[in-house]
């Protein structure tokens, strides 16, 4: 758009008149407040109170606990009888079904007490997905009350059992985590079983190609705790699990992946 000379002159004149109006108005405001000292005092008190409240709020915020899980990589391995159930931190061969854990760190300045860690996952979707794998691979059998078995072969009569439990049954509780402290949290059994089973079953369902990327899982994490002032706090994280499966290597590894966390 091209402005004419007249339009530019009109705009400059408008801005100049506006500035003159503001300049001429300011002395009147100052004189009015000076003549009404009580009003001026009230305004000063209000500003001081607002400033102090903001400083107090910032101080409280700075001393709040701040809980965060550290990101982690993982590897998947079969156990000696061929069941895909080992979730581990290293590609080195595992000898037993050791518990996979996450590192929880308090990066805030205040301590957290009476901590409850809640895991929000879609149990119904997980059960439905395993039922689909049961049809496709014949390596999973559903029993009752969300109990499944991984069958050692399609002709087996028994297998490795695991549960897909409700979220409420997988809560973790702790008494205390101080500022800058790091504690290990046991990975929920339901997620452990699901993460180890699904990549292998997906590999079988696709005819055992060289590499399979499994659909990412998004899981909510909720921290409920009490701060040092006795006030209940609530924090949320999003956990994203990415997994890949492939042909079994010489260490019986059949997959790998990552677990990452972010604030909502």
Which of 61, 77, 92 is where one domain is finished?
Answer: 61
pLDDT tens for 91-149 read 999 887 777 999 999 999 899 999 999 999 999 999 999 999 999 999 999 988 889 99
Spatial contact of 108 and 66, defined as CB atoms under 8 Å apart: yes
Could you tell me if 125 and 35 lie in one domain? no
Bigger pLDDT: 155 or 132? Answer: 132
Whether 15 shows a pLDDT value over 60: the answer reads: no
Q: What is the DSSP string of 87-152?
A: EESSSSPPSS-PPPEEEEEE-SSS-EEEEEEEEE--HHHHHHHHHHHHHHHS-EEE-STTEEEEES
Residues 233, 179: one domain? Answer: yes
3-state secondary structure of 193: helix
Share the mean pLDDT of the chain.
84
Of 123, 131, 119, 34, the residue nearest 69 (C-alpha)? 119
Decide the pairing of beta strands 147-151 and 253-263: unpaired
Same domain for 57 and 67?
no
pTM of the model: 0.76
The verdict on 25 and 146 lying in the same domain is no
Q: Which of 61, 77, 102 is the last residue of a domain?
A: 61
Structural domain count of the chain = 2
Compute the radius of gyration of the chain from its Cα atoms.
31
Q: Based on the fold, state whether residues 116 and 57 are members of the same structural domain.
A: no
Structural domain span for residue 93? 63-263
Question: CA-to-CA distance for 256 and 35, rounded, in angstroms?
Answer: 76
Q: Are residues 37 and 116 in the same domain?
A: no
Q: What is the DSSP string of 222-235?
A: EEEEE-TTS-EEEE
Residues 145 and 238 in one domain: yes
Whether 157 and 84 map to the same domain: the answer is: yes
Same domain, 10 and 114: no
211-253 pLDDT tens trace: 999 999 999 999 999 998 888 999 999 999 999 999 999 888 9
Q: Clarify whether residues 89 and 21 are in a common domain.
A: no
């Amino acid at each position: 758009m091209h402005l004419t000379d007249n339009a530019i002159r009109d705009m400059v004149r408008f801005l100049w008149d506006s500035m003159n109006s503001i300049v001429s108005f300011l002395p009147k405001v100052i004189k009015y407040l000076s003549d009404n000292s009580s009003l001026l005092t009230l305004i000063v008190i209000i500003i001081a109170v607002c400033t102090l409240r903001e400083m107090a709020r910032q101080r409280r915020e700075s001393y709040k606990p701040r809980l965060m899980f550290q990101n982690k990589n993982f590897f998947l391995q079969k156990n000696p009888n061929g069941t895909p159930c080992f979730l581990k931190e290293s590609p080195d061969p595992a000898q037993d079904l050791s518990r996979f854990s996450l590192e929880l760190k308090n990066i805030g300045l205040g301590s957290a007490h009476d901590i409850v860690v809640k895991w929000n996952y879609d149990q119904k979707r997980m059960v439905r997905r395993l039922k689909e794998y049961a049809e496709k691979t014949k390596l999973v059998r559903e029993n009752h009350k969300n109990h499944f078995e991984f069958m050692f072969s399609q002709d087996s009569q028994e297998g490795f059992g695991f549960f897909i439990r409700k979220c409420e049954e997988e809560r973790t509780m702790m008494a205390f985590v101080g500022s800058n402290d790091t504690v290990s949290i046991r990975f929920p059994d339901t997620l452990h079983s699901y993460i180890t089973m699904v990549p292998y079953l997906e590999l079988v369902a696709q005819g055992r190609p060289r590499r399979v990327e499994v659909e990412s899982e998004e899981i909510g994490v909720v921290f409920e705790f009490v701060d040092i002032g006795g006030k209940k706090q609530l924090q949320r994280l999003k956990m994203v699990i990415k997994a890949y499966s492939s042909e079994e290597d010489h260490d019986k590894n059949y997959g790998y992946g990552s677990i990452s966390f972010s604030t909502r």
